[in-house]
A and B are shown apart, each in its own frame.
Chain A
Amino acid sequence: EAQVTQNPRYLITVTGKKLTVTCSQNMNHEYMSWYRQDPGLGLRQIYYSMNVEVTDKGDVPEGYKVSRKEKRNFPLILESPSPNQTSLYFCASSLRRGGKNEQFFGPGTRLTVL
């Protein structure tokens, strides 16, 4: 089944404790992206990647890192999480062919930073 998977689905952590949220897709998509969703603000893009070893900042990249060492995986790293990073995080991927960028989303990771 074609899908985007994220782990963990739920995480409660404390300020300053480094964490990684994994994202994997099995559709051979070049493009992958991370978003955070907060009430009243919709989805905001954190980072995106056009292909392996190619990443760029979205609208809200501060406090986050990403890497794209292989095509299927795009982990999101919080080196020193803070309470304002408590949010619902989504990973997405797309094929980007012929001018199209129809992104498929993962199930989400709900992060709470105490």
Chain B
Amino acid sequence: GQQLNQSPQSMFIQEGEDVSMNCTSSSIFNTWLWYKQDPGEGPVLLIALYKAGELTSNGRLTAQFGITRKDSFLNISASIPSDVGIYFCAGLPNLNAGGTSYGKLTFGQGTILTVHP
């Protein structure tokens, strides 16, 4: 199946610092989603991106859909302790295309974020 490479695998930062993480793909996606997972819970959608070059913010979070459609970035500004968790990128191919990739969401391996007060 398609592969998403997410980096870094983990980050240890001080409260107040900015955070950046990214995902790259070997193939084109038409949708990029960023999720956060807290311990013992399911992933929660943070930001959805649908157009190449799109830059979208959600509070202190900003995500971008890469121009090549093969990558996406998530930035967290002025981190706080509750930002701790695992962040996942996910990509979806063209929903209007047929074939076996239709409807298949592919996830990155996740970035574990630790914020020290």
Contact = CB atoms under 8 A, between A and B. Distances in A.
- Interface size class, chain A: 20 to 34
A43 interface: yes
Interface in B93-117: 95-96, 100, 102-110
Contacts, number: 69
Contacts of B104: 45, 48, 58-59
A105 interface: yes
A102 interface: yes
Interface in B69-97: 88, 90, 92, 95-96
Interface in A1-56: 4, 31, 33, 35, 40-45, 48, 50, 56
* Interface SS of B by simple majority: loop
B67 interface: no
Interface of B: 1, 4, 6, 30-31, 33, 35, 40-45, 48, 50, 88, 90, 92, 95-96, 100, 102-110
Q: What are the 6 tightest A-B residue pairs by CB atom distance, in nearest-first order?
A: A105-B42, A59-B1, A43-B107, A42-B109, A42-B107, A105-B43
